[in-house]
Amino acid sequence: MWIILMFVSTGVYSIDLIQPDSVVVQPGQSLSITCRGTGFTFSSFAMHCIRQPAGKGLEWMGLIIYDASVTNYASSVQGRIEITRDNSNSMVYMRLSNLQPEDSAVYFCAKEPQ
């Protein structure tokens, strides 16, 4: 199974993936993604995790609000996903466990629009 990771960079801010561009993970294993936000007040914005399977549209996976007090996850990944953040280092972390072939996708981190 191929898991492809990417980052989102738009305008004067960026959200950079802090790991290799692609990762191969076996079914049943876990995937961890780390992203760093720059050029904006990271602690003021919710952060989202999104993925796009090959040949399909974007799928929203979940979000963590600005102060990390609330997370919300899509039903398709509920129970397998955890999103956390470290505002002092402008980092967001996503862990997806018990991976299945249908989890093969390009994964994105994105900030809440202003």
Domains detected in the chain: 2-111 (2.60.40.10)
What pTM was estimated for this model as a whole?
Answer: 0.85
- Integer CA distances (angstroms), 75 to 1, 3, 5, 89, 103, in order: 22, 20, 21, 29, 14
pLDDT exceeds cutoff 90 at 99: yes
- Integer CA distances (angstroms), 111 to 24, 69, 75, in order: 26, 16, 21
Distance of alpha carbon 67 from alpha carbon 17, whole angstroms? 21
Averaged confidence pLDDT in the chain: 87
Average pLDDT for 12-36: 80
CA-based Rg of the chain, rounded to a whole angstrom?
A: 13
Residue 45: name the closest of 54, 53, 55, 35 by CA: 35
